[in-house]
Copies of this chain bind each other. A is one copy, B any other.
Amino acid sequence: MEDKKSRPGPRPGGRSALVQAAVHRAVRDIQAQGDAQQLTIPVIAGRAGVTPSTIYRRWGTLAELLSDVAVENLRPDRDPEEHGSFRADLIAWIEQYIEEVSSVPGRNMLRTVLAVDKPQNRVQCTTYTLEQVEIIRQRALTRGESVPEGDAILDRLVAPLIYRLLFASEQPDRARIETLVDALLVDG
């Protein structure tokens, strides 16, 4: 029980957390095998060693369970790279972020999160993004740079790129990213 910070969800290390971990792992294993037909509550339950009714009681529907797993997959697994300036850090981070969410598994994750009306999962995506942006901002502030607010970075950089990825199938190139970042730094 190394993590005692309060966060939504079950008590870390408790029985409920063990069930969640086993069920999430079962979903990931089945997804890794690439056979979507196998992604059913009975098959997942069998693999996780729990009863189907445990899954129904806790998640309600398969779509909700898949949404939970997708959000967990979207959790960043490392801090943004350091390149010595706010501009360089921000460009490197957003390039990698967009590359990840525009890949086939990335697009599937976003779609799965959006597929159910579970605001807490959708909001979690933005929370992860803001956390990464905050690390980049704090580093820059420590270096004495002046930086825009996190909300402005969401509105002016992340939002247009994600909107066009979702609704225009537009994969941004480096020039497009630099244009958005530079406009943000000027108006900031």
Contacts and interface: CB of A to CB of B under 8 A. Distances in A.
How many subunits of this chain does the assembly comprise? 2
Contacts of A158: 163
Nearest to A187: B187
Contacts of A125: 167
A162 interface: yes
Given A154-B163, A158-B163, A169 B119 contact: yes
Contact of A114 (B111, B119, B180, B183): B111
A159 interface: yes
A164 interface: yes
Contacts of A126: 164, 167-168
A117 B169 CA distance: 10
A24 to B, nearest CB: 21
A119 B163 CA distance: 13
Q: Which of A110, A117, A167, A169 has the most CB of B within 10 A?
A: A167
Interface of A, helix, strand, loop or mixed by DSSP: helix
Nearest to A124: B167
Contact of A169 (B107, B110, B123, B162): B123
A99 interface: no
A149 interface: no
A145 interface: no
B122 A167 contact: yes
Contacts of A168: 122-123, 126
Contacts of A156: 156, 160
Among all A-B residue pairs, the 5 with the closest Cβ atoms = A159-B163, A155-B160, A119-B169, A159-B160, A159-B159
5 contacts: A114-B115, A115-B115, A119-B169, A122-B169, A154-B160
